[in-house]
Amino acid sequence: MKLPGNKYIEAISVQQLLELANAVVSGYVRRSIIPKRENEDVKMAIVEKFISQREKIDKAFEGKSKLTTYYIAIMNRMCCEIIRHENRYWYTVVENEYPKELQESDSITMKFETEKDVIIKHEELRLEQVINSYPVKKGKLLLFLKFYFDLPISREEVERYAEHLTDDLALLLKREQTTARSEVYNILATAVNLVEHKNIKGDAVRMWMNKHLESVISELNKYDESEYSIDNIETLLEFHYSRAIPAPAINTLLSILLILFF
């Protein structure tokens, strides 16, 4: 059954909306971003806001994905807004308002989780989801991105792409801080020729990298949660895969996240 006004929209009950909201909130609860005691309140707040904006939300649906996927993305944005506004309150509850065991648990969580942690964790999760959406090319894509941006590479990551040629490729994937980007493409072209038995040049790798980087960036920016570009995607990759990132760069990362920080 389809609802009037948008040929792509099918009738989804309030109960189904509750189930979708529960799936979104539960993920943040499992990672201790939302306290367990707030689970139900956050879920209901999302559903109430969603229902109040449903007509506008449905009109914006273009049918490019499953309706439930679209709804989950909208609810995730709403959830992130609630986290940003309520996070400080959740972890500064009045003493004795909750049982001692719960206070101690919240105290530990408060020390571990800051508002910046919450936001960056969310971005790291989204990055993983995008990278994992390339099941066939995941090993190659992640390996090439890490080598290109000079991030730590594990033997397992080399093996995932090279298989029985792991030792040969590991020797090839050596670079210095002074290695030019053009030379990086040439090294990766040699890697492709070794593993995939091709005969390509650095320019072919450059075009392949640009195409897939643009695809990753497009997915990250899909629901207007961020404003990544070729110039700044390195910040998120560097933080997620090396953690060796200075505070100014973290602030740069946060400034990219339009929906969460502004």
Q: Which of 99, 121, 155 is the last residue of a domain?
A: 99
User: Is the domain of 181 the same as that of 252?
Assistant: yes
Looking at the structure, tell me whether residues 56 and 140 fall in a common domain.
no
How much is the pLDDT for 202?
93
Query: What is the pLDDT, as a whole number, of residue 50?
Result: 93
Report if residue 144 sits inside a domain.
yes
**Is 249 contained in some domain?**
yes
166 in a domain, yes or no?
A: yes
Same domain, 138 and 255: yes
Residue 10 pairs in a beta bridge with: 2
Does 173 share its domain with 76?
A: no
- Those residues of the chain that have pLDDT short of 70 are 1-10, 91-118, 136, 138, 177-178, 223-225, 243-262
Residue 49 lies in a domain: yes
Domain presence at residue 172? yes
Q: Which residues lie below 8 Å from residue 240, measured CB to CB, with a gap of 6+?
A: 124, 127, 128
Q: Is 43 found in the same domain as 153?
A: no
Structure tokens at 127: 């990055």
Give the pLDDT score at 159. 92
Say if 51 falls within a structural domain.
yes
Say what the pTM is: 0.53
- Answer whether residue 8 is part of any domain: no
Per-residue burial over 58-81, b if 16 or more Cβ lie within 10 Å, else e, is beebeeeeeeeebbbbbbbbbbbe
pLDDT at 96: 44
Q: Are residues 257 and 154 in the same domain?
A: yes
Q: What pLDDT sits at residue 254?
A: 53
Token pair for 22: 């529960």
Residue 143 is predicted with a pLDDT of: 92
Domain count, the chain: 2
- Are residues 142 and 219 located together in one domain of the fold? yes
By residue range, what is the domain housing residue 78? 14-99
Distance CA 260, CA 258 (A): 6
